[in-house]
Amino acid sequence: ETKLRNRGGCTAFEAEMDARYVDRQKLKADLREAINARSLTLSYQPMFAPNGGRVECCEALARWTHPERGPVPPNVFIQLAEELGLVTEITRFVLDQACRDCMNWPGDVSVSVNLSVLDLRSSEIVVMVTDALRVTGLDAARLHLEVTESCLMDEPLKVQAILRELRGLGITIAIDDFGTGYSSLSYLDALPVDIIKIDRSFVRNIREDSRRFKLLRGTANLARALGLRIVVEGVETADQLQLINEHNCADLIQGFVFAAPMPASAIATLCKNGVPKRGAKTTSKRIA
Ligand code: C2E
Ligand code: MG
Ligand code: MG
Ligand code: MG
């Protein structure tokens, strides 16, 4: 980025790159302010049993609405926060709020929080998690933490030690976006993880692309044989859901086919009403 500032010439391209750099710096400054002002919020996306019968867990997803630009995608602001060295402040907020919100849902619903690779560089994360559980009173069995494959490859021994400590508290560990990194299931077998979340890129074209679907199915079969639970992410259509269920590829489904992210209060309502009992027939309305 610094290179972009020392431009000699002034092509339109370089001018545009400069504008983007300034823009990004401004966005970073605004993000720092938003974090300090505690103005980030959370949305929750439910994960359902494959028949849609009940909400088992809800993923906490951070939201930032910029005063002038409107909503900024989390993929964008999480990376900015990492560059600012502030992502752990976001994690602290999300952990605390997610545990609080989960306390207002029925006792069998869990909450899942995303960690950044930077959170796993220090065992401070163990203190943060312990504090969040203690302050909110949430049972550790109801908290899941999601880490990506690349987090696991970064200083693997240190990360594994931290994950073991977290798991020792009774927390469930999930590998997010599984299949997009370079880890293999044989490597995963040695890791302290409970769940794999198969990335939505394995779901997108499963009806048209049979080889892609075989990857999904094979991964699910192998993961299950290793005793891992399988979440399939990004299921959007009834057709995808049907194929996944016909081949028993998922223990939990997360995707627009059932529900988009929503406020904590809507999760409470969804858990109380609206959800047919487990084993109930999935109506076309529910999965429309
Ligand atoms: P993720 O952890 O893989 O979260 C799932 C993302 O997929 C969410 O996007 C969700 O809205 C989206 N999604 C769910 N179902 C569907 C579907 O059926 N189709 C499609 N196309 N998308 C679906 P979102 O909320 O934009 O978050 C994007 C990413 O930002 C997350 O991916 C996660 O990596 C990161 N993120 C979000 N909140 C946090 C946070 O609190 N901390 C950290 N470290 N990262 C976060
Ligand atoms: Mg996630
Ligand atoms: Mg994911
Ligand atoms: Mg993903």
pLDDT tens-place string over residues 222-279: 999 999 999 999 999 999 999 999 999 999 999 999 999 999 999 999 998 755 443 3
* Ligand minimally distant from the alpha carbon of residue 45: 1
Minimum-distance ligand 1 atom for the alpha carbon of 73: 26
Minimum-distance ligand 1 atom for the alpha carbon of 113: 41
> In this structure, what are the phi and psi dihedrals at residue 64, rounded to the nearest 5 degrees?
-130, 120
- Between CA 21 and CA 2 the distance in angstroms is 9
Higher confidence at residue 179 or residue 166? 166
pLDDT, residue 74, reads 97
Q: Span 19-41, mean pLDDT? A: 93
> Max alpha carbon distance in the chain (Å)?
68
Q: Residue 185: pLDDT band by 50, 70, 90 thresholds?
A: confident
Q: Residue 155: pLDDT band by 50, 70, 90 thresholds?
A: confident
Secondary structure element (H or E) that encloses residue 58, with its range: strand 55-66
Q: Span 139-149, mean pLDDT? A: 96
Q: Residue 8: pLDDT band by 50, 70, 90 thresholds?
A: low
Substitution candidate for ligand 1 out of 31, 47, 61, 196 with most atoms within 8 A of CB: 61
Angle between helices 87-102 and 12-36 (to 10 degrees): 50
pLDDT, residue 274, reads 57
pTM for this model (two decimals): 0.91
Q: Span 67-89, mean pLDDT? A: 96
Report percent pLDDT > 90 for the chain.
Answer: 75
* Ligand minimally distant from the alpha carbon of residue 254: 1
Q: Whose CA is nearest to atom 23 of ligand 1?
A: 234
pLDDT digits (tens, 9 = 90+) for 35-76: 999 999 999 999 999 988 889 999 999 999 999 999 999 999
231 lines ligand 1 (CB under 6 A): no
Residue 280 has pLDDT above 70, yes or no: no
Q: Whose CA is nearest to atom 7 of ligand 1?
A: 234
Instruction: Give burial (CB, 10 Å; 0-12/13-18/19+) of 201.
Output: middle
pLDDT, residue 282, reads 44
Q: 78 near 116, Cβ under 8 Å?
A: yes
Q: Span 74-98, mean pLDDT? A: 97
Average of per-residue pLDDT values in the chain: 89
Residue 60 alpha carbon to ligand 2 centre in Å: 8
Residue 286 has pLDDT above 60, yes or no: no
250 lines ligand 1 (CB under 6 A): no
- Between CA 159 and CA 18 the distance in angstroms is 37
pLDDT, residue 150, reads 83
Within the chain, residue ranges assigned H as helices are 2-5, 12-36, 74-84, 87-102, 124-136, 149-153, 156-168, 185-188, 210-225, 238-246, 264-272
Q: Whose CA is nearest to atom 4 of ligand 1?
A: 61
38: left (phi over 0), alpha (psi -120 to 50) or beta: left
Residue found under tokens 């904590």: 264
pLDDT, residue 15, reads 79
Tokens read off for 15: 């001018």
45 lines ligand 1 (CB under 6 A): yes
- Between CA 286 and CA 182 the distance in angstroms is 36
Residue 141 has pLDDT above 70, yes or no: yes
pLDDT, residue 277, reads 43
Residue 111 has pLDDT above 90, yes or no: yes
Q: Residue 156: pLDDT band by 50, 70, 90 thresholds?
A: confident
Pairing of strands 70-72, 55-66: antiparallel
pLDDT, residue 285, reads 42
